[in-house]
Homo-oligomer: A and B are copies of this chain.
Amino acid sequence: MTERAKIGFQDVRDVVLERIQNRVWSQGDLLPTEQELAEEFGCARATVNRALRELADRGIIDRKRKSGTRVAVSPVKQAKLEIVLTRQLVEDRNANYRYALVERKEETAPGWLASQLDLPMGAKVLHLRAMHYADNQPFQYEDRWINIAAVPKVVDADFTTVGPNEWLLGEVPFSNAELTFAAVPADDELSDYLACAKATPLFQMERTTWFRSQPVTFVRMSFHPGYQMRSQY
């Protein structure tokens, strides 16, 4: 029997990728059409289509109607960054997680926040400050503002036992966000809460969250000295 097991889209995808890596098709080269590849692999065009679609999603190839499929000239590397709860970050390190609310205050959005979240003048926000500990060592300082108009129920949440992130995940689970990452020097307050010298470099992540184009929350998370964020592609 010269019969092979049936060709699946993963087989096609892997063979095409291998040929690209082996320079059978170099950067900028035109690949055969879906029809031709389908004939070569002895499968349906839909199978080839799915294989190539996955490679296109990964940025390996560029596809255009009429022009055909080309090997990407400068492949865009996309790293996937998993954004997880602080609790999970801590527990993944086999450390004991502890959360503590530092301050809870309803206030009028200051100008910079109204601008950041695109809030109307005088919008009410809930300002929360909290600490996250790993084995009772400072892990992260959280400074957060929540748009009360977007999540009215927030005024009834007390946040003494459940952190705002986990609470919001239950209320507004499927939101969009913009993230920024930076290195900042510890100010008086951060050095105090994170138990480090003033001006110590800290890794800081800011996140602005929307739900259906409505601003929900802005949070600034400052990690303990030495924290590393990891990712891969």
Q: Which residues of A are at the interface with B, using a C-beta cutoff of 8 A?
A: 17, 20-21, 27, 60, 74-85, 169-170, 173-174, 176-185, 199-204, 211-212, 225-233
Contacts and interface: CB of A to CB of B under 8 A. Distances in A.
Contacts of A78: 80-83
A82 B169 CA distance: 25
A139 B180 CA distance: 18
Nearest to A229: B181
Contact of A232 (B60, B177, B201, B229): B177
A75 B203 contact: no
A176 B233 contact: yes
Given A81-B80, A201-B202, A204-B183, A75 B173 contact: yes
B232 A173 contact: no
Contact of A229 (B82, B180, B185, B212): B180
Nearest to A46: B46
Contacts of A185: 200-201
Contacts of A85: 74
8 contacts: A21-B211, A76-B82, A78-B81, A79-B81, A180-B228, A181-B203, A182-B183, A182-B229
Contact of A179 (B183, B225, B230): B230
Q: Which among A75, A79, A177, A226 has the highest number of chain B CB atoms within 10 Å?
A: A79
B183 A203 contact: yes
Contact of A227 (B17, B182, B229): B182
B202 A199 contact: no
A109 to B, nearest CB: 22
Nearest to A71: B173
Nearest to A166: B74
Contacts of A228: 180-182
B232 A178 contact: yes
A174 B81 contact: no
B77 A178 contact: no
Nearest to A179: B231
B176 A232 contact: yes
Nearest to A186: B201
Given A74-B169, A232-B176, A233-B177, A182 B199 contact: no
B176 A20 contact: no
